[in-house]
Amino acid sequence: MGETKLSAKRAFITGVTGQDGSYLAELLLDKGYEVYGMVRRTSSLNRSRVDHLTRDPELSGRFNLVYGDLGDASALAKLIRTIRPDEVYNLGAQSHVRVSFDIPEYSADSGFMGAVRLLEALREADWNPRFYQASSSEMYGKVAEIPQKETTPFYPRSPYAVAKVAAHYITVNYRESYDMFACAGILFNHESPRRGENFVTKKITKAAVEIKLGLRDSLGLGNLDAKRDWGFAGDYVRAMWLMLQQDKPEDYVISTGETHSVKEFLTETFGYLNLDWNDYVTLDERQLRPAEVDILLGDSSKARKALDWEPEVDFKSLVKMMVDADMDALKKTG
């Protein structure tokens, strides 16, 4: 951390228990914000990514978890009225592309209608809160050009991506219709040690470590030729914050400008552990998407110039960070 402290602002984050939400909460707390993170009531708690924040006595009163749901408009409106946030970050939604084919209705409701409900609550506010919508590079889908930038047409290839396109455009619509400070960050793939275990990068690093330690002997994956622009989540949440500090709201692509295939990720991960992935990886057709996105490569030149942002963690460092974290975690559990 170690960022310069600012005057106390109040932020509201949906999806605070996710990868991005936890890194964003840390960033904002380090800048002196009061942070309110929305969580859903569930039978089993899933707050491991923010437990260190809730237990830190120095953050008492500054980091708060509140119950709510993107499917409940009245609860969202009540939270907004009660908290009166200066900044709202909408990071919550069903976030797994492959799973969205299995639960398309829920993916659409949480991904699109959740944004609508939040925007409506903010539109009725008697102050001027700023809104950030988490858009996704998956919106480009069957890409119209390489690399993809803010003006590249969208061609979504999954229910998840369709919902994100709709949420993106409703954010633009509210900005233009109601003069709201509402912007979207089109974030390309971003990973970290906190990545969910059903995402391909985490599957790879965790399995490689388990293979190295003799805890398993194989890993099944889907399309190994898919290429992605992978960055570090900690770098990307900094871009989210910067977007809401500008004089006027605009949308930005956030990316590293490099693309790597799943095979390259495997090579880097297993090679770091002195293993050959070809000896362990098999095809699992259940993990193939009905419609594939072959390549994503972002042009973040607008963000680099306007926001003075650039990624600090490169591809190889990201892989090593994730592998080291998985190794430490497994060794701690014996």
Q: What is the rounded radius of gyration, in angstroms, for the C-alpha atoms of the chain?
A: 20
Tally of residues, the chain? 334
pLDDT digits over 263-277, tens only? 999 999 999 999 999
Report how far apart, in Å, the C-alpha atoms of 189 and of each of 76, 239, 257, 271, 282 are. Answer: 28, 14, 11, 22, 23
Q: Read off the tokens for 248.
A: 């006027």
Q: Tell me the domain boundaries of the chain.
A: 10-194+230-258+296-313
**317 counts as catalytic:** no
Query: Which pLDDT value is given to residue 43?
Result: 60
pLDDT digits over 113-155, tens only? 999 999 999 999 999 999 999 999 999 999 999 999 999 999 9
Residue type, 211: I
Residue 124, number of CB atoms within 10 A of its CB: 10
Query: Which pLDDT value is given to residue 5?
Result: 46
Query: Which pLDDT value is given to residue 2?
Result: 45
Q: How far apart are CA 22 and CA 194, in angstroms?
A: 9
**285 counts as catalytic:** no
SS3 string of the chain? CCCCCCCCCEEEEECCCCHHHHHHHHHHHHCCCEEEEEECCCCCCCCCCCHHHHCCHHHCCCEEEEECCCCCHHHHHHHHHHHCCCEEEECCCCCCHHHHCCCHHHHHHHHHHHHHHHHHHHHCCCCCCEEEEEEEHHHCCCCCCCCECCCCCCCCCCHHHHHHHHHHHHHHHHHHHHCCCEEEEEECCEECCCCCCCCHHHHHHHHHHHHHCCCCCCEEECCCCCEECCEEHHHHHHHHHHHCCCCCCCCEEECCCCCEEHHHHHHHHHHHCCCCHHHCEEECHHHCCCCCCCECCECCHHHHHHCCCCCCCCHHHHHHHHHHHHHHHHHHCC
**7 counts as catalytic:** no
Question: What's the longest Cα–Cα distance across the chain?
Answer: 61
Q: Read off the tokens for 328.
A: 């430490």
Q: Which residues of the chain have pLDDT under 70?
A: 1-7, 43-44
Question: 36 pairs with which residues across the strands?
Answer: 12, 64
Query: Which pLDDT value is given to residue 286?
Result: 86
Q: How far apart are CA 86 and CA 303, in angstroms?
A: 22
> Annotated catalytic residue: which of 22, 100, 110, 136?
136
> 216 near 256, Cβ under 8 Å?
no
Q: How far apart are CA 195 and CA 188, in angstroms?
A: 14
Sole residue written with tokens 């996710």: 18
> Annotated catalytic residue: which of 33, 89, 140, 160?
160
Q: Which overall architecture, per CATH, does domain 10-194+230-258+296-313 show?
A: 3-Layer(aba) Sandwich (3.40)
> Annotated catalytic residue: which of 138, 158, 255, 272?
138
Q: How far apart are CA 72 and CA 145, in angstroms?
A: 38
Query: Which pLDDT value is given to residue 98?
Result: 86
